[in-house]
């Protein structure tokens, strides 16, 4: 499992879910604050080492570039994705169309993910 989350909105929930999954002995549970060695390998981890991406859907999860990158990478590489709706309003068509105005896309551009791919 890979727990995709916005730290402010779901950091504590992510920690709780990791502890529960580890108690259930479901295998490796990736939580960036525990397991991230370096940012460049983040999307590779999602692509190559993860069976299920768990997206903790909070108000600002889609405003975080790395969360967008994790979700997009999982989609592009057919990684099973399970949303957990905590407090989440589905994005409007306007938000999706103008994603590059709402989110700092620099870090995503560096790894080849542009607005067109994320949309």
pLDDT in tens, 24-50: 987 889 988 787 777 778 899 999 999
Please report which residue ranges of the chain form alpha helices under DSSP H: 7-23, 32-35, 42-49, 65-76, 93-97, 99-102, 106-109, 115-118
pLDDT of residue 89: 74
Residue 8 in tokens: 């402010």
Q: In the chain, which stretches have pLDDT less than 50?
A: none
pTM, 2 dp? 0.76
* Mean pLDDT rounded to a whole number for the chain: 89
Start-to-end CA distance of the chain, whole Å, equals: 24
């Amino acid at each position: 499992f890979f727990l995709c989350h916005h730290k402010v909105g779901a950091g504590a929930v992510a920690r709780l879910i990791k502890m529960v999954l580890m108690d259930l002995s479901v295998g490796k549970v990736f939580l960036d604050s525990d397991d991230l060695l370096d940012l460049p390998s983040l999307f590779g981890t999602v692509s190559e080492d993860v069976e299920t991406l768990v997206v903790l859907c909070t108000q600002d999860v889609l405003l975080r570039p790395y969360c967008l990158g994790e979700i997009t990478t999982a989609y592009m590489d057919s990684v099973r994705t399970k949303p957990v709706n905590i407090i989440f309003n589905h994005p409007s068509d306007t938000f999706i169309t103008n994603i590059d105005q709402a989110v700092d896309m620099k870090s995503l551009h560096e790894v080849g993910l542009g607005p067109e791919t994320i949309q």
